[in-house]
Structure 1
Amino acid sequence: MRIRAGIAGIVGLVVALGVTELVHGLYDLVPSVLGSIAQVVVEWTPGGIVTQGIELLGTADVPVLIGSVVIGTLAVSALLGILAVRRPALALLGVALLTALGIAVSFVEPFINPVATVANVVVGLLAGTIVAELMLRAAGLREVKKAALEAAPAGTPGSPESPAVRWRETGAGSMSVGRGGFLALGGGAVVAGLAALGLGRLLSGGSQTASAPKRLDLSNEPAGKPSGNEGESDGGGKEAVTHETLPKPPADASIDLPGMPKLITPAANFYLIDAALTSPRVNADDWKLSVKGAVQNPVEFSYKDLQEMSTLESDVTLSCVSNTVGGGLVSNGRWTGVLLSDVLKEAGVSRENISSASRQLVGRSVDGWTAGFETDIALDGREALVAFGLNGSELPVKHGYPVRLVVPGLYGYVSATKWLSEIELTSWDFDAYWIQRTWTKEGPVKTQSRIDTVKGGDNLQAGRVPVGGVAWAPHRGIDKVEVSTDNGNTWNEARLASQLHPDTWRQYVYDWDAKPGSYTLKVRATDGEGVLQTAEDRPPHGGGGTDGAQGYHTMEVTVA
């Protein structure tokens, strides 16, 4: 009995999730209930546990989290199905609580239609409850109640002679279809629910918004100015608006080898690590960026305002502070946008007037996520961007559409605000999202290097073996890369591709004359300031530090 009741509850939940996800896919102002629950779990989970999850799972952290949420909710639904046999009133109360929870977590998401969101949760869970009830009746489980009813005094509303009871018993008995029919009914409902869920997930990722952003074309944009609440003043004239693009990377900036990452990472392959499990859907026509806080002239920009300012392309390597030594949470992109310093200039901010009240620049996402860094970094001459393009196209939604921050030389957790809606200048006392979760406050990217053309555990053939990969120290550049084949006892200087830009990674290769035996390979880099990458091994978080991994990428190989 319990197994069939539990199955009925699980099938009902699958149908409910299928309905809600399908509606989410059809109408993006209705959030994903499943994603919203997972997002709340992230927000309530202690930062150290979230960090460990990212370090352990990398880009698989989101699927694992959502899978865990699904398993947990399936367990709850199974319990409700069992409860529905003996205590249907309590089971209905449980469904009501689930409905309230689904509505509450859905309202955590920005940019939703409240009425449609509430209706989606209610209809979804109602559909699931009806399916579960039909399965319980089909299995004849409602007949279990007869034994209790037969003990009621004759003539009472709950007695066996009651017309209502006889109707319920007759209905329950006539609905019993046996084990095969029960499984067929449940299987059909599961297939329908999963199909709706899958279609909803597919539709929710199939707009601009995601896989095929439009190409950028700024060549014919007219000059314009942002609107500020203290009026406009151009000092009697306007600077010429320019839209600078970069030439194709020179051939000598790349080394063509199997396993070598592309010099410019395709948007589809760019690493993704977010606190937001579902990407906010922002209408660029309604979007605004406000610059406020300790500024002389609070100002507001539309998407069109930014594109009508002088823009440029900039090649910048971004990396996640959670990236382990030799890990893949690093990518190199060609970004398009407006200099952050130009945006701050419109608000009256300069290096000369930075004070203790404006020491920190905080980027705030449309969903409230924050990242902060020293304001001076935005004004020290580096090409920090308010970016709206990646690799010649609009930003994909998952990478921050319509606008994000890109700051060379800083880890993403202190600088790379996606879905940017506010820039606030404030004091250093403010602690942004990840700082509240025990990461250090400054976040400069450490000099790192990685072996890509050889993998740990490889069995290699004797002879020439190219050992190559990438090294990066954004804003400082890479001057030298060395490879050791004897566990660091001796070092061999690698051949470098030309440096595309000091803000990007640099490819290298060492042509190793490999002899038969077992070897320990290591790689290390020296940055553009002459500083050698540290050899001390340390994980991204813990082990004496909370500011990123360090050490030499090391692997064991065999040569036959």
Structure 2
Amino acid sequence: MGRGARAAVAGVAGAVLAFGLAEFVHGIYDGVPSVFTALAQGVIELTPGGFATRAIEALGTADIPVLIASMIVGALVVAALLANLRLRSGALAMLAVVGLAAVALAAVFTQPAVVAVPTVLTIAGALAAGSLVAEGILRRAGLVGEAGAPGAPEPPPAEQPASPSGQMAGVRRRDAHSGRGVRFDRRAFLALSGGAAAAGLALVGAGRFLAGSSASESTSERPLRLSDSPGERTAGRETTAARDEVANRTLPPVPEDAKLAAVEDVTPLVTPAADFYLIDTALTSPRVDRESWSLKVGGAGVANPLNLSYSDLLSMPTREVDCTLACVSNEVGGGLVSNARWTGVMLSDVLNEAGVTRETLGAANEQLVGRSVDGWTAGFRTDLAFDGREAILAFGMNGNELPVRHGYPVRLVVPGLYGYVSATKWLQEIELTDWDFDAYWIQRTWTKEGPIKTQSRIDTVSPDEELSAGVIPVGGVAWAPHRGVSRVEVSTDGGESWNEAELAAQLSEDTWRQFVYNWEASPGEYTLQVCATDGEGVTQTATERGPHGGGGTDGATGYHTINVVVA
């Protein structure tokens, strides 16, 4: 193994150990962010919008794994280069390490809830420890030091006595003529480097485990107290006339006629929190302490700016809302759509308390922007909070407190809008501003309005599945949030003819609706399609287009199509 390769191995070992130490501290104290995650998050934020969108289109759900893999490879390459730089100039290598520390600090201080002193000490200590380990390996390998200085030729290996088995005795030797001291042979060099790297990986694993355990314990899974009386909930707060008009509302259990229980493999009407789709720009969910959390409401036209605590929010009249959310990047027939029962406070109530009504809206406060604790933004027209839809600040999901990864402690849920323009998780601020402000995904070439398109999906039959002749249930879900679903049709001949499907009762116009068509199938090859009509009588388009298409709108269109063989 040449000098450059050995130096690279030493640098990589030191870097892994440094990352491991930093991740371990992050695991035991969440005031110190994950350095690696912060760096990756920085790459996401700095990537030009058009390139980011094309990468998402090309990679799909593999975009984050590809980013992480690229970051790991890049970090290892940098470590290898720094170790080789050390062979030529210790001063330049030290300067480069200081530069890395500056980059790491700049990245972590963009993360929410950073505690400054422990974070600085962690990054400085981790880099110092990694550098010392790499330096020690380089010295013991004879690559730096008096005889390892730039330009010094490496002497030939000294002879050692052979062991009875013919192997070289010992794992290190002393060069009496070199002044270099004890040097490792190749096996010992790899053992020491590998040991340092293994220790670093173990620390990474421990840190990740501890961080995950801490996140899972940050909220309880107990059921929300929805039975409190209005008097108890409003205790300690001034009761306004607007609030008195809206009573606390708890929905009855989901009626049985809203579910097609007899049809196997149809997606459940209510999605469990663990199965609810996840699409985030945040690589890790921010951990927010609800005792110190507050929500700011301000901006143009806000007569009474608010700073609401978590208990303030819970003291207001609450609502349970059944609502289907969908991601704009969902392909036709895809799974980035889910339905849940949300608990929260009406957005219109909060705006009213801030002195904002539909009559006070104008060009200056045409847009409502939700801002997350990590700075992510989403915006939609403010008047949608007053048009009758049940837009809420949700703190509950399916009867439990909002899970961390779904936006704990509070998120926005706005029926009828794709998540990229409305579904701000880990909500920290609501700002009213003009329409010229471009939120996160608008800056990355997605369009600004974001109404959810009418869509339908077949769940009970898989692509290219071989089926048995007879009655075959073709079932699934259809959705058009805020408009409802009035009709679903199924075709078995590629759209040449259509058959009306049986519909379960509509749980809410904001939720998806289950359907089934019992198909009398004969042997042959078939093309199944499904088409839904919304509550306003508008049928979904057959035009096939991906999520990020042209024409001034976004979201995939077309019929979900499945080819099957009946034997």
* TM-score normalised by L of structure 1: 0.90
The offset of 1:226, in angstroms, is 9.0
In the other structure, the counterpart of 2:283 is: 277
Residues 58-99 of structure 1, C-alpha deviation per residue, up to 9 Å, x if partnerless? 444333322221111111112112222233332222222111
Change (3 A) 1:531 1:251: same
The answer to whether 1:265 aligns with 2:268 is no
In the other structure, the counterpart of 2:32 is: 30
Asked whether the 8 Å contact 2:406–2:425 carries over to 1, the reply is yes
After TM superposition, the structure 1 = structure 2 runs for residues 146-225 of structure 1, keeping only pairs within 5 Å, are 148=151, 170=179, 172-174=180-182, 176-207=183-214, 209=216, 213-215=220-222, 216-220=224-228, 222-224=232-234
The answer to whether 1:247 aligns with 2:255 is no
1:79 match: secondary structure: helix
Change (3 A) 1:4 1:244: same
Change (3 A) 1:557 1:146: same
In the other structure, the counterpart of 1:161 is: none
1:205 match: secondary structure: helix
Change (3 A) 1:326 1:141: same
1:148 match: secondary structure: coil
In the other structure, the counterpart of 1:416 is: 423
The offset of 1:556, in angstroms, is 2.1
In the other structure, the counterpart of 1:100 is: 102
Aligned mates of 2:87, 2:176 — CA distance in 1: 18
The offset of 1:178, in angstroms, is 1.8
Asked whether the 8 Å contact 1:518–1:559 carries over to 2, the reply is yes
Asked whether the 8 Å contact 1:448–1:533 carries over to 2, the reply is yes
The answer to whether 1:439 aligns with 2:446 is yes
Change (3 A) 1:146 1:299: closer
The answer to whether 1:385 aligns with 2:392 is yes
Asked whether the 8 Å contact 1:136–1:142 carries over to 2, the reply is yes
Change (3 A) 1:547 1:226: farther
Aligned mates of 1:134, 1:484 — CA distance in 2: 71
Asked whether the 8 Å contact 2:323–2:510 carries over to 1, the reply is yes
- Counterpart pick for 1:8 among 7, 10, 15: 10
Aligned mates of 2:142, 2:521 — CA distance in 1: 72
Amino acid in the other structure paired with 1:50: A
- Number of equivalences: 539
Aligned mates of 1:167, 1:286 — CA distance in 2: 65
Aligned mates of 1:514, 1:191 — CA distance in 2: 59
Aligned mates of 1:297, 1:201 — CA distance in 2: 43
In the other structure, the counterpart of 1:478 is: 485
The answer to whether 1:514 aligns with 2:521 is yes
Amino acid in the other structure paired with 2:285: S
- Counterpart pick for 1:354 among 361, 386, 390: 361
1:489 match: secondary structure: coil
Structure 1 residues 460-469 or 309-318, which shifts more?
A: 460-469
Aligned mates of 2:206, 2:523 — CA distance in 1: 53
In the other structure, the counterpart of 1:128 is: 130
The offset of 1:149, in angstroms, is 5.2
The offset of 1:141, in angstroms, is 2.5
After TM superposition, the structure 1 = structure 2 runs for residues 52-67 of structure 1, keeping only pairs within 5 Å, are 52-67=54-69
The offset of 1:188, in angstroms, is 2.1
Asked whether the 8 Å contact 1:266–1:391 carries over to 2, the reply is yes
- Counterpart pick for 1:17 among 16, 19, 36: 19
Aligned mates of 1:325, 1:211 — CA distance in 2: 36
Asked whether the 8 Å contact 1:22–1:201 carries over to 2, the reply is yes
Asked whether the 8 Å contact 2:392–2:412 carries over to 1, the reply is yes
Structure 1 residues 284-293 or 55-64, which shifts more?
A: 55-64
Structure 1 residues 280-289 or 31-40, which shifts more?
A: 280-289
- Counterpart pick for 1:145 among 148, 170, 173: 148
In the other structure, the counterpart of 1:155 is: none
1:197 match: secondary structure: helix
Residues 314-344 of structure 1, C-alpha deviation per residue, up to 9 Å, x if partnerless? 1111011111111111111111100111111
The offset of 1:167, in angstroms, is 11
2:321 match: secondary structure: strand
Asked whether the 8 Å contact 1:523–1:552 carries over to 2, the reply is yes
Residues 87-127 of structure 1, C-alpha deviation per residue, up to 9 Å, x if partnerless? 33322222221111111111111211011111111111122
Amino acid in the other structure paired with 2:288: V
Asked whether the 8 Å contact 1:370–1:417 carries over to 2, the reply is yes
In the other structure, the counterpart of 2:170 is: none
In the other structure, the counterpart of 1:112 is: 114
Asked whether the 8 Å contact 2:87–2:150 carries over to 1, the reply is no
In the other structure, the counterpart of 2:307 is: 300
Aligned mates of 1:186, 1:272 — CA distance in 2: 39
2:190 match: secondary structure: helix
Structure 1 residues 394-403 or 86-95, which shifts more?
A: 86-95
Runs of at least 5 residues in structure 2 that lack an aligned partner in the other structure: 155-174
Runs of at least 5 residues in structure 1 that lack an aligned partner in the other structure: 152-165
Residues 397-450 of structure 1, C-alpha deviation per residue, up to 9 Å, x if partnerless? 221111111000001111111111111122222221111221111110000111
Amino acid in the other structure paired with 1:374: R
Aligned mates of 2:441, 2:306 — CA distance in 1: 27
The offset of 1:146, in angstroms, is 5.5
Asked whether the 8 Å contact 2:344–2:396 carries over to 1, the reply is yes
Percent identical residues: 60
In the other structure, the counterpart of 1:82 is: 84
Amino acid in the other structure paired with 1:286: S
The offset of 1:456, in angstroms, is 1.6
Residues 138-158 of structure 1, C-alpha deviation per residue, up to 9 Å, x if partnerless? 43333762673589xxxxxxx
